[in-house]
Amino acid sequence: MPMLRKGRYIARFADGPTDIEAAQRLRGLVFRATASDIDTYDDLCRHMLVEDVSTSNVVCCFRLLPLDNGRAIERSYSAQHYGLACLVEFEGAMVEMGRFCIHPDHHDPDILRVAWGALTAYVDETGVEMLFGCSSFKGTSGDAYLDAFSLLKERHLAPKRWLPRVKAPFVFPFARNLRARHADVKAAMKAMPPLLRTYLLMGGWVSDHAVVDRDLNTMHVFTGLEISAIPPARKKLLRAVAG
């Protein structure tokens, strides 16, 4: 059953191995340029698909790992890459969103809107209080994203009480390295991944360093969003889509 239907797209949870394999193929295309992207977290997560109604093709997917509270944070995918002891004290329900991707041949902004609408419906239904995950920049060099990282440093770093620590062997410590650089905001937003841009518009925050992930050929920042901090007008828009 669809979680959400808007126009030519439906969002729904995977219903069995065939759906999960379709998501893994899309992830493989986006992240690995290979047949499929598969890891051990797939068995722990719920998988959301966004399909084009006219073709039944999967045009977007992501997976969700629900956690009762911060004491379960070490079970998350993100905990492989970031020191998250700071979040152990978070008492509310959490969900990690991972492997978010949109088919490279599809550029309709409604795809992202439907994905966020479905996620909003899930958050409301389950009482989630924090959404988190890794937001990825393509490639493993920060040179093309200096304005984006500078803007993150200036405006969007995590509160000190939640700030992730360095754990991965290879990182780009942008908050330290770009301390004296001021962002060109227009260039920064153009370079910002769409998923991260949406997080930031809702009041999301990031780690002070990016992890260099050579396996997926990405650089990613830990991203957190406290649901209570989403501006009321933004919540209203999201719930309008979700409804």
Full set of structural domains in the chain with CATH: 4-242 (3.40.630.30)
DSSP three-state, residue 238: helix
- Percentage of the chain lying above the pLDDT 90 cut: 93
Which pLDDT score is estimated for 229?
A: 93
pLDDT beyond 70 at 177 = yes
User: For residue 118, which of 106, 137, 131, 105 has the smallest C-alpha distance?
Assistant: 131
Which pLDDT score is estimated for 42?
A: 98
Which pLDDT score is estimated for 1?
A: 59
Output the average pLDDT for the chain.
96
Give the pLDDT band (50/70/90) at residue 242.
confident
86-95, 156-165, 220-229, 232-241: range with lowest mean pLDDT: 232-241
Written as one string, the DSSP assignment of 81-131 is TEE-GGGTT--S-EEEEEEEEE-TT---HHHHHHHHHHHHHHHHHHT--EE
